[in-house]
Chains A and B, each alone.
Chain A
Amino acid sequence: MYISLNDRPSSRTGGQVARSRGGRVSSVIVTLGVVSLLTDISSESVAAVLPLYLTTALGLSTIAYGFIDGLMQGASALVRVAGGWAADRGDRPKWVAFVGYGLSALTRGGLALAGGFAAVTALVAVDRVGKGIRTAPRDAMISAEADPDHVARAFGVHRMLDTIGAALGPLIAFVVLWAVPDGYTTVFVVSFGFAVIGVAVLGFLVPDRRPRADAARAARVVDTLTPAGPAPSRQFSWRHLTDPRLRRLFLVAGVLGLLTIGDGFIYLALQNRDGFATQWFPLLYVGTNVAYLLLAIPVGRLADRVGRAKVLVAGHLALVAAYLCAGLQTGTAVLTVGTLALLGVFYAATDGVLAALAGRLADPSARASAIGTAQTVVAVARMVAATGFGVLWYLVGPSTAMLAAAGALLAAVAVGSHLARTLDAAPAADSALPTGDA
């Protein structure tokens, strides 16, 4: 791991920064990772106890909550594009992200104060909106800060910290509940505390960079040095999102997303056949998270070396393998653990890598919108996949459905790798200067 708090000059103009393999990750990226870590502790600790809180403390069934939750996921996906657009349009990604993080932090405070189903539902909704707002601007900041040759690694560092938070959150929540039976309010107060510190770290320690203004300034310098270099655009325009390479990336992500059925089904398939998986069912996602956080950086480095689009597409092969493991008729503990590890590989190869690709292919003035759009395409495609797969699940049973999904995804990977073949070779949009390698 090459994380360091030493600042280094950011390299938005590309090329000229010395890039040893062990180049340090910008302190801004590490700081953003810490913000995500704190925020994820906050959100995951609440998410882990919410079903229990609703049923045991409030005496409600979570059925209604589940339906609302599903709807909110859709809203969150759309808000994501809006968050990206606002960041690009105003050229202030930090403060758009700040609004998103702040909104979510406020909802934790609200949970500590208010009880009851309506309040909880409203607060969860606002929280999701906050999450939608902040994601794209934050990823655009990571993309802007990263050394162009190590973007995927930079995202790996961020996602590792983020996932550590996601793994710690439920742990902290359950330790609190263990010490203080029915101490849900204490969980909410602790969660609020982490969120506030996260927002403070973002507000005070992350520099307020203005990517478009910076790029314009850099372009003026470039113009005088090498008049032939294309100047990055100074104004945000939706037209930047119709760039052929970006469109191709959206297409690849969409095609693969349409066969990404969601972890829930995989866990359910494991649970359906295997006593081990049932006993540890509430903790299966922890296994996936541990694999993800261990692999985020190594797979990010690999993506930087062999090609991000290649790794993004190939990462879905891990998902194919996970479907196959989950689709077997008989299960063992080893197979269950193996499935979780494969899911971790899949996330390590896709989540940060997609943002890295989108951020690099996009014009700097439309970076947040491009990342937000890519993530929304994936989110919507996955929702469609989950719905479609659900039908298949009930029609032919979990095993057959899993094997069918594996076959279809394998075909999609073949198509995807054909479509994506030019993405790695394409020069990054903001690396106007000739670079040593591509």
Chain B
Amino acid sequence: MVLSGKRLRQLSAVVIALALLAACGGPSASSGASGTPHSGGTLAIGIESEVDVLDPQRAGGWVSWRVNRQMFEPLVDEDLSKPSAQAAVPALRPGLATSWELSPDGTVYTFHIRPNVKFHDGTPLDAAAVEFNIRRMWDKSFQYYDAKAAGQTNFVWQPLKSIATPDPMTLQLTMKQPFEPFLRLLSQGGNGSTGIMSPASIKQYGNDNVGEHPVGTGPFKFVDRVRGQRITLARNDDYWGTKPYLDKVVFRPLPDPSSRVASLRANEVDMIAVPPPDSVASLQQSGFQVSEGAPPHVWFLSFNFNDPIMKNKLVRQAINLAIDRQGMATNLLKDTVKPAYDVQAPANAAYVANTEAYGYNPDKAKQLLAQAGYPNGFSTVMMTSVDGSGQIIPVPMAEYIQQNLAKVGIQIQLQTTEWISYLSKWAQGTPPGVGWAQQSWGMTTPYWLYIVTSSSLKAPNGPNVGGYSNPQLDQVMQQAMTATTEAGAVEKWKEANRIVTDDAAIAPIVNDKAPYILSSKVHGFVSPSEEWYDLNTVWLS
């Protein structure tokens, strides 16, 4: 490659900039730890949308779980104390269960419930309390069964056959068949969660109102909520684990990105989520810290398998090669994301980077299109939303893709919808005429691939919105889910990965780094390889 004078200058500029960044201390994965931690203070966090409900089993979306997990804990949790650089996939750790055993055939889980734990209302935690919670999400005949919670946590409890409590602090769950992702799914919170709620609070307020009076076991307890303004939590001084330094945490919904940045600059909040990519550099210059990681996030396109053009594998492969992921990450998104080279997110044991299938090669793309019978390209429609949880800046990103594809002859028309409407539209599947629909998702368990590619979960029955169906893939994923060891499962998931990549069923575009901007007063915040975080270690100077 011959470097023109202009290119040389551009490269030098980049090199110098990088050197400067390194010198000044660029984005870190954990905020500066200058001085010694001390107790006290109120942390104000500007979040990107309102939390839906403080009922962890009914709540949906990452934003809600980030707040709820400060108050509620599952049986099995993830260790979020290490930044992504140190732990690409967060390790599982005991939550409200101190330990667990799995029967040799992989169908019976025995959990030992943590002793001497009290809910925020003083009632004790025991196996009966956990059973109460599980039945709420699973047992239709249970007095406090909640269809909404069951709908959200569907994937976790589907394989459950029966519950037993051999003694007051032991819980036994028997599955219909081995379900390897189960433990990891217990720690998740993007679609409902298995956060344990105080049975007394559910009995007192009922399923519909308990969200106004959240009572959990976590390091923070609920103080008040003014919808659209704030959710206030206070330190739980009786917490069984590492007590937080902070006295209080206030979550403030600020959906307008400019408003969020303005609030941070005016010192009305101490940290903000989802900064507009163009603001990151100038915020850093003003003395703010950037904390980012590699969470299990993929911004991806689901191809419409019912569309005559998209049916063709060569077309899909061509589209994957025609998109300049690195260009988007650097020029448009100012490196607040990483190009995605696999359908799984990096925070996932089954992640395998594949630059051959997902790199930028417009010439090969044109070749493939010609082979497929479209030497002059074609036109189609792309569905996306205007904003939304984890969507970063979907419209400019879609426009960027539009321009990339135009270069290989593919003309796309954008169909943009407001987020909440988009969710229901997306879930109904890609309609005729639409080439693909965009979404953001991902989990630390490879099981996520099953959710979006299984033929039994084709829309409207499930989130496989493109209608992708590959019996061989289904079989491999079944083997992965019923494997009896994690290693065995991961091997099968990687095989599934290869099949999906070869089929080009999905086009992963970028992985969000989930940057948080923090004021210089905030210390101890860790950006783990997850879409949520712990606040126990955070302190204010």
Tell me if chain B binds chain A. Answer: no
Interface residues of chain A, those whose CB is within 8 Å of chain B, are none
